[in-house]
Amino acid sequence: MNPDRYADRPAGDPPADRVEGLLRRAGDVSAGPPPGVWEAVRAELTEDEPAQGAVGTPRRDDLAGRRGADGGRRPARWPLLAAAAVGALVAWLGTQVLGAGPGASEVVVADGTLAELPDAGEPVEGTAQVVAVDGEQRLRVEVAELPDAGEGYLEVWLLRPDLSGMVTVGVISGTSAEFSLPAGVDLADYAVVDISREALDGDPAHGGQSVVRGELRDASAG
């Protein structure tokens, strides 16, 4: 046992080396919590986000993690969407790197057009663009008209083309929005931009009501 040599120190001025002593005794305090703590933080904030509707709360879900692990808990209610239908609906745009970006350091890494899905109710057109700014990827979404969110809100997702996985990106509440993408998201894998109508029911899973969708294409390949 290592006796606590400060436990019964006299009141009044601290000994001259109390600061040093505490620092030495504590040692390296930066080891960090186990990984599960971050998962818990993320899960807790994801759960309360729909109620807050706050843009900016991290909603990222790397599917290998949380949603992949408990994917069976919230059955996804997907609209019927054959791959052929997606192909027919989405008009591809092999846009070259646009000169319109506000920042000189930005590089457009992918872009595509968005189109309404059948039964979505209203014609919606828009564009999606991924730019690399200062080492991070940002997704810019613009729609000509904001789809009707009904009683809920509209959420932007990145999907695998075969719908085998999805990453939540954020809430869109205007005709243009910009989102920071989670580091490590492979746009070649999660290539489909999807806007869904979500109910304020606290369920963080995709509500199954996609209203707008489009696929990103590698801008350098266009």
Partner 1 sequence: MTGAGDDDDDIATAWVRGERDALERAYRRWSGLVHGLARRAVGADGADDVTQVVFVSAWRGRDTYDPSAGPLGAWLVGITRRRIVDELRSRQRQVPVADAAPEVSDAQAWTAADSTDLLTIYEELERIGDPQRRIILLAYVEDLTQREIAERLDLPLGTVKTHTNRTLARLRTLLGGAR
Residues 124-163, mask of contacts with partner 1 (x by CB under 8 A): ------------x---------------------------
Alpha helix ranges (H) inside the chain: 18-26, 35-52, 66-69, 83-89
- Which residue from 41, 51, 76, 83 is in contact with partner 1, where contact means CB under 8 A? 41
Residue 190 touches partner 1, criterion: CB under 8 A:
no
Task: Name which of 156, 111, 151 is nearest 131 in CA terms.
Answer: 111
Nearer to partner 1, 22 or 144 (CB): 22
- Which residue from 10, 36, 102, 103 is in contact with partner 1, where contact means CB under 8 A? 36
With contact defined as beta carbons under 8 Å apart, do 129 and 138 qualify? no
Rounded to a whole number of angstroms, the CA Rg of the chain reads: 23
Residue 60 touches partner 1, criterion: CB under 8 A:
yes
User: Minimum Å distance from CB 201 to partner 1?
Assistant: 20
Sign of CA dihedral 16, 22, 25, 29: negative
Residue 67 touches partner 1, criterion: CB under 8 A:
no
Residue 13 touches partner 1, criterion: CB under 8 A:
yes
d(CA 143, CA 84): 23
Distances (CA, A) of 165 to 129, 185, 221: 20, 12, 24
- Which residue from 22, 76, 91, 200 is in contact with partner 1, where contact means CB under 8 A? 22
With contact defined as beta carbons under 8 Å apart, do 157 and 196 qualify? yes
Residue 26 touches partner 1, criterion: CB under 8 A:
yes
Contacts with partner 1, residue ranges (CB under 8 A): 2, 4, 6-7, 11-14, 16, 18-20, 22-34, 36-38, 40-41, 44-45, 48, 54-60, 136, 170, 179-180, 182-183
